[in-house]
Structure 1
Amino acid sequence: MHSGIINPIDLAREGRQSAHLAIPYSIDRSPYYQIRIPIVRLKNGDGPSLLLMAGNHGDEYEGELQLARLIRILEVSKIQGAVTILPMANLPAVMAAKRCSPFDGGNLNRAFPGDPAGPPTARLAHFLESELFPAHDVILDLHSGGTSMAHLACTLIERQADRTRFQRSLDLMRAMGAAHAFIADNGAMAPTSMGAAARAGAIGLSGEFGGGGTVTPDSMAFTAAAIDRLLMTLGIVKETVLSRSVPDRPRSLQLLSLSRHSQGIYAEGRGWFEPAVTLGARVAKGEVAGWYHDLQRLDEVEEELHFAEGGIVISHRLHCDSQAGDCLIQVGEPIEG
């Protein structure tokens, strides 16, 4: 079934193409409205095909800004193979500075494999998984902690049943040069872009490149270097594009796993969270994770929160004001060997 998305890009055509994916979506002020998502395709001869994607969540900016920059400066004559760039995949969310689309509340990274007859986010997910992802060898989906979370800078892959593809994923993830990396184990039907990439027969790469709904010199440099390293490792370019020079890779890569509810601490009610540890800290089971204050009951002593498991602190909530169900802090389990 057709996804209802208009795609003017010819993936077989040589050279540079700049266009918009168009999702028809009737709204009150415009019955024939289209959600127009920018897409750029560069192709120069035979070679690997890479899809670079950001804005899966609208409030994660490192990828959006660096891919916008890459669109402006990457030259067809300097590549071998093909690069497709989606700098603002969930465009309505990007324009609203929100995690999810304001049109349908859709979280694109929980919408795969999508629905060709569904609301806009579901239709986009279906188009990506069934049409765009299968046309690429490698997919890099750039994320960050978003407005509400601080996140340890890291790269990420999904565990693969195919050992050859999994090893290739590991090799490419290592090449991106992060000091920390995740191996997610969400299963074959994961509703994420990485699950979709695997089902489409592509190698899926991702990561958390910053957080807080902002960018920093460090987070932008980390993102630029990761993109450049991937482009060079694949043989698409011979030298850096976004970075003046690629910094030395960390001496080692610490692999992490996040697979159990007990690795996080969640709010049980309304409160104000004060973390006790910083991102990247190694903590032990039972160690103090932070304090939960109740500003509506000033006579109550703040609650001391303790880690149920040891590991490396990978994220914590940035918004002090919290509600029941909010994740306050998480630890990743180090994978040795």
Structure 2
Amino acid sequence: MHTGLAHTLEFDRDGKTLSHLSIPFSIDRSPYFQVKVPICLIRNGDGPTLLLMAGNHGDEYEGELSLAKLVRRLDPKRIKGRITIMPMANAPAVMAAKRCSPLDGGNLNRAFPGDPSGTPTSRLANFLETELFPRHDVVFDIHSGGTSMEHLPTALVERNADPERHRRGVELMRTLGMPYGFIADNGQASPTSMGAARRAGALGVSGEFGGGGTATVDSMAITARALDRLMIAMGVVDAPVLGAGEKPSAPTRLLSLSRHSQGLYATRRGWFEPAARLGDSVTSGQLAGWYHDLERLDVAEEALHFAESGLVLSRRLHTMCEAGDCLMQVAEPVDG
């Protein structure tokens, strides 16, 4: 009654099932409270299995809205195999419009492999890695920059030590038709959903589909295209569901972010003024921006410079910063 995670899902049942994952967590307002995480199973016989999730961080809306549309639009007769849909994986964070859960401070995308007897976020992460992810061929986790970040529209896979599985992951990433593809080196013990998918034996693909804590015409269109292309490529549908099937204008350009020196970080409280735009090509030593101290008007702003060359991948949107805040990231173009 007070621990674990409960559900009534039947993974081999045909049709459309709308249900919840239920996580007991006593709170001041409700001693027998359960965190309710919406989940939808759509199945039509044997075939490929695909898990679609969004709301891993609560303030990233492109995936949440797109997957909610998909739940409403997908008729089981249109698909082959099974699609599992979680539009708001970290439901408390989504409802609070926050990156992390207000119940336990949990960042779901740093909580894997989790703990079945831990906090709600940790219990959910453990269920996903040990019970849900292993039931699927592919896990697609949709992100964006959230409230505080501007991000290039970029698909993402984590590097796999198995060369063949890494090749398949990159191939899957290219299928999405994103302008950029981002290869992350987070190691075998990665606490992310992509690390969990890899350990569970599934192919994991993710990406950043917008930013700024909002959804735009362009960010929604690129998310719809990626979902349609992935479902078609896997053979779970035979035609676009969310969009008109527009083709990408150019092949995906691969990027790599593998060193801390590719990031520019604040070392004290201040206000950051950028000198480079998202997507700019920059060189080592080039001016990145200026750091102001508005509490000491007699002190000149400090010029900050990029430590590495590459493409500006992300930028902090909040001008006021504290020590440790990432101001910009520069990704390295990868050939082949």
Q: Unaligned stretches of 5+ in structure 1? A: none
Amino acid at match of 2:49: S
CA distance in 1, matches of 2:250, 2:30: 55
Contact 1:178 1:250 in 2 (8 A): no
- The residue that corresponds to 2:53 in the other structure is 53
- The residue that corresponds to 1:213 in the other structure is 213
Contact 1:254 1:334 in 2 (8 A): yes
Alignment of 1:185-264 (within 5 A): 185-243=185-243, 245-264=244-263
Alignment of 1:54-203 (within 5 A): 54-203=54-203
Alignment of 1:304-323 (within 5 A): 304-323=303-322
Amino acid at match of 1:290: G
When normalised by structure 2's length, the TM-score is 0.98
Identity %: 63
CA distance in 2, matches of 1:312, 1:240: 32
- The residue that corresponds to 1:272 in the other structure is 271
Amino acid at match of 1:275: P
CA distance in 2, matches of 1:12, 1:247: 33
Query: Is 1:329 aligned to 2:328, yes or no?
Result: yes
Number of residue pairs matched? 335
Equivalent position SS for 1:37: strand
Q: Deviations over 1:91-147 (max 9, x none)?
A: 000001111000000000000000001010000000000000000000000001110
Contact 1:38 1:87 in 2 (8 A): yes
- The residue that corresponds to 2:294 in the other structure is 295
CA distance change for structure 1 residues 3 and 129 in 2, over 3 Å: closer, same or farther? farther
After the TM superposition, list the runs of 4 or more consecutive aligned residues in structure 1 that deviate by more than 4 angstroms.
Answer: none
The alpha-carbon deviation at position 168 of structure 1 amounts to 1.4
Cα RMSD between the aligned structures?
Answer: 1.1
CA distance in 1, matches of 2:51, 2:116: 21
CA distance in 1, matches of 2:29, 2:267: 42
Q: Deviations over 1:208-260 (max 9, x none)?
A: 000010111110000000000000000111110010x2222243221111111
Equivalent position SS for 2:178: coil
Amino acid at match of 2:15: G
CA distance in 1, matches of 2:251, 2:57: 30
CA distance in 1, matches of 2:278, 2:79: 37
Contact 1:53 1:141 in 2 (8 A): yes
Amino acid at match of 1:233: A
Contact 1:3 1:127 in 2 (8 A): no
CA distance in 1, matches of 2:157, 2:249: 18
CA distance in 2, matches of 1:117, 1:248: 46
CA distance in 2, matches of 1:251, 1:73: 29
CA distance in 1, matches of 2:86, 2:74: 14
Q: Unaligned stretches of 5+ in structure 2? A: none
CA distance in 1, matches of 2:12, 2:296: 64
CA distance in 2, matches of 1:81, 1:277: 46
Q: Deviations over 1:70-102 (max 9, x none)?
A: 111111010011100000000000001111000
Contact 2:55 2:88 in 1 (8 A): yes
Amino acid at match of 2:13: R
